[in-house]
A and B are shown apart, each in its own frame.
Chain A
């Protein structure tokens, strides 16, 4: 797999369990947040996003929660499957960037391992 998996926080779960991946951010000016999934040997893939005027957003088997008070973002994966094994990144955008995507700041990622 990619060497990016080294030195990362890791989360190991059993197939069928729910997974919660956390992300802390420090920029109070961030107004938009994205979760990406990166499988071994592949590029990051968009999972779900949320704007700062929302607390929760749901997708298919995934939910993102945003707590602006403590600057915390979480990704919940329901009924985790072996195919969910990957590195998960959060990214934030500074509202002072004028909405431009090139001002995204990526977190270091969390390695999720799903045991069958």
Chain B
């Protein structure tokens, strides 16, 4: 049981390049989400999904796309990277969306956009 797995751990991009951050969980969790973490800002929600085929925007969705074709995977796409997207990205999942269902986080992906 690997939990939440994120790849890559580190990535450097040039402005305008595109890339996908991968997230996979093997816990059969319904809910998955992406956060970014910046100094002094706390964790901010980018996009989330309450189940396969369903996605929605969080607090800071601009510049990012997501899809949820399977229960296990929830990739985050940057279509045209900008320096403002330099951050540490965390994927998280939970069994349900209500009650005290605790989020399980991945180890993070550090992205630098030059």
For the complex formed, measure the closest distance between the CB of B31 and the CB atoms of chain A, giving whole angstroms: 6
From A7, A34, A43, B106 is in contact (CB under 8 Å) with A43
Give the residues in chain B near A28, CB-CB below 8 Å: none
Which of these, B38, B58, B100, B105, contacts A102 with CB under 8 Å? B58
Residues of A within 8 A of B102 (CB): 34, 46, 49
Would you call A56 an interface residue if the criterion is a C-beta within 8 Å of the partner chain's C-beta atoms? no
Shortest C-beta distance, B104 to chain A (Å), equals 8
Q: How far is the CA of A104 from the CA of B56 in the complex (A)?
A: 15
Contact assessment for B100 and A51 in the assembled complex, using a CB-CB cutoff below 8 Å: yes
Q: Taking CB as reference atom, which chain B residue is nearest A6?
A: B39
Query: Which stretch from A10-18, A67-75, A77-85, A93-101 is at the chain B interface?
Result: A93-101
User: In the complex the two chains form, what is the Cα distance from A108 to B44 in whole Å?
Assistant: 10
Given A2-B88, A49-B100, A7-B40 contact (CB < 8 Å): yes
Which bracket fits the contact residues of A? 20 to 34
- Whether A101 lies near B42 (C-beta < 8 A) is no
Interface of B is mostly: strand
| Chain B interfacial residues counted at CB < 8 A | 33
A58 interfacial contact with B, CB 8 Å: no
Indicate if the CB atoms of B107 and A43 lie closer than 8 Å: yes
Q: Is B22 part of the binding interface, using a Cβ–Cβ cutoff of 8 Å?
A: no
Q: Report Cα–Cα, A51/B43, bound state, in Å.
A: 21
**Once bound together, how far apart are the Cα atoms of A91 and B100, in whole Å?**
12
Q: Is there a chain B Cβ closer than 8 Å to A42's Cβ?
A: yes
